[in-house]
Amino acid sequence: MAEAIWSSDTGEAVYRSRDPVRNLRLRVHLQRITSSNYLHCQPAAQLGKDLIDLATFRPHPTASGHRPEEEEEEVVIGWQEKLFSQFEVDLYQNEAACQSPLDHQYRQEILKLEDAGGRKNRRIFTYTDSDRYTNLEEHCQKMTTAASEMPSFLVERMANVRRRRQDRRGTEGGILKSRIVTWEPSEEFIRNNHVINTPLQTMYIMADLGPYGKLGYKKHEHVLCTLKVDSNGVITVKPDFTGSKGPYRIETEGEKQELWKYTVDNVSSLAQPEEEEREQRVFKDLYGRHKEYLNSLVGTDFEMTAPGALRLFVNGEVVSAQGYEYDNLYVHFFVELPTSNALPEWPVLYCEVLSLDFWQRYRVEGYGAVVLPATPGSHTLTVSTWRPLELSPVAELRRFFIGGSLELEDLSYVWIPGTFKGERLSRFGLRTETTGSVTFRLHCLQQSRAFMESSSLRKRMRSVLDRLEGFSQQSSIQNVLEAFRRARRRMQEARESLPQDLVSPSVTSVS
């Protein structure tokens, strides 16, 4: 069989999955092709470095004198499944080399494997998230592919950050305690709080490509695939799953160079229909419980408005002020609510713009008013202002030097004074000057029982019309005729109550 294409794209691939990562299964196939010394003898006019005929150079297993399991190996690996290397087997068989609880656990597992007949894997093994290799690899990883890479300050700082799940909650006497200011932060505290620390788990699929009979040396270990999974279900694979692409290649270094090929395929089992249905029920139950939890946070004592009342919430800010004579501006404002015995009105926002001079004396720069928005949502309002004016040089000098100026005793005079009871409001004789404008950004929210009632009424009417479908027009005609009959009866009752001499000849009506 001739294999003509190698996959040279060894970059990362990112996947997102809602399934538990424990269901992930990978099939890794590793095969020795030949000594790379044969490749150096190939003429340059052939297919090239990445396009070779593997059938030409693949030695027959019996001719090479090696067993088939040493030439080729295939294993199926689960997420965070530990496969021991020959180096680890030799190391942990010596009890004196076990220092941590994890080392003793590995020793017990290796002894059980030896009693059961030995390992099933030979060259392919794994490093899980708990192994020391994972920590060292995260510290020593390169940021670029350059052989002479000079790490920058940021690279050095980021290399010291291990993205692991950390419990930063401090409790004292069962009460959650948190410090707003840390006066003497440690190096670990700085690393943990100045970097986005997303919980992450890492796994390495490795291969021991040492010569036959000399397995178990660290210098012959090569990374086949790196998998990283964070708490959001994002899976990062480097290199990507082989799929329809060609196998990846590894060319060893040293006196006896060899060429290997390997593939990494996702062989996770697909969920059965009944499992998917069960999963949907679980998610539905989970979302329902979360909704109940949120409702419990709000509580049952949610304050409702009185029937027939409207509650208005306004959250706003002063965005800018422009066009005024002096700087160092500040704004006074208040909201006037409509009286209960008046016609339906809306709240009015009054504002007074003042400036402060060097001697901490203030000057009136303008008055303005605007009706608050009648619709909920975000609104940007620009209020034009004016100020009273005296037509004398003395008044302007007094305003400039000592800060005095004409002021309104009642700010509501800008709009309609609250004390005004007449029909016409005259400002004749009041001299004013247009000044600048103030921009407000307001976020309005309205609350009323009528909104809930109208919403439920619309839903009921919509459902009725959906059920009636083609009978809706007939229903409208019947309603009109019924209204006409009621009006006709009222008219006849009114006619009968009048004196007979005032009753005009009857008009024939259409029933």
Query: Using 50, 70 and 90 to split pLDDT, how confident is the model at 33?
Result: confident
pLDDT the model gives residue 44: 43
Query: Is the separation of the CB atoms in 299 and 70 below 8 Å?
Result: no
- Is the pTM above the cut of 0.95? no
Residue with the bigger pLDDT between 425 and 220: it is 220
List all residues 6 or more positions away from 263 whose beta carbon is below 8 Å from its beta carbon: 27, 28, 29, 242, 247, 248
**Where in 66-160 does DSSP place strands (E)?**
72-78, 124-127
21 pLDDT above the threshold of 50: yes
Q: Which residue from 251, 252, 253 is spatially nearest to 6, judged by alpha carbons? A: 251
Determine the Cα–Cα distance for residues 474 and 335; give it in Å rounded to an integer: 51
SS (HEC) of 17-75: CCCCHHHCEEEEEEEEEEEHHHHHCCCCCCCCCCCCCHHHHCCCHHHHCCCHHHHEEEE
**Where in 231-361 does DSSP place strands (E)?**
234-238, 248-251, 258-266, 311-322, 329-336, 348-356
List all residues 6 or more positions away from 332 whose beta carbon is below 8 Å from its beta carbon: 351, 352, 354
Question: Mean pLDDT over all residues of the chain?
Answer: 77
Determine the Cα–Cα distance for residues 271 and 122; give it in Å rounded to an integer: 32
Query: Using 50, 70 and 90 to split pLDDT, how confident is the model at 499?
Result: low
339 pLDDT above the threshold of 50: yes
pLDDT the model gives residue 232: 82
Query: Is the separation of the CB atoms in 267 and 26 below 8 Å?
Result: yes
List all residues 6 or more positions away from 96 whose beta carbon is below 8 Å from its beta carbon: none
How much is the CA Rg of the chain, to the nearest whole Å? 42
Determine the Cα–Cα distance for residues 75 and 221; give it in Å rounded to an integer: 17
Give strand pairing partners of 203: 227
Residue with the bigger pLDDT between 125 and 231: it is 125
3-state secondary structure of 98: coil
Residue whose entry in the numeric block shows the structure tokens 């350059």 = 146
Query: Is the separation of the CB atoms in 37 and 43 below 8 Å?
Result: no
pLDDT the model gives residue 305: 80
Instruction: For 430-482, write each residue's pLDDT tens digit.
Output: 888 889 999 999 999 988 888 777 766 666 655 544 544 544 455 566 676 77
* Residue % of the chain over a pLDDT of 90: 24
Query: Is the separation of the CB atoms in 386 and 433 below 8 Å?
Result: yes
Determine the Cα–Cα distance for residues 339 and 262; give it in Å rounded to an integer: 83
Instruction: For 352-405, write each residue's pLDDT tens digit.
Output: 998 887 777 788 889 999 999 989 999 999 999 998 887 777 777 777 777 667
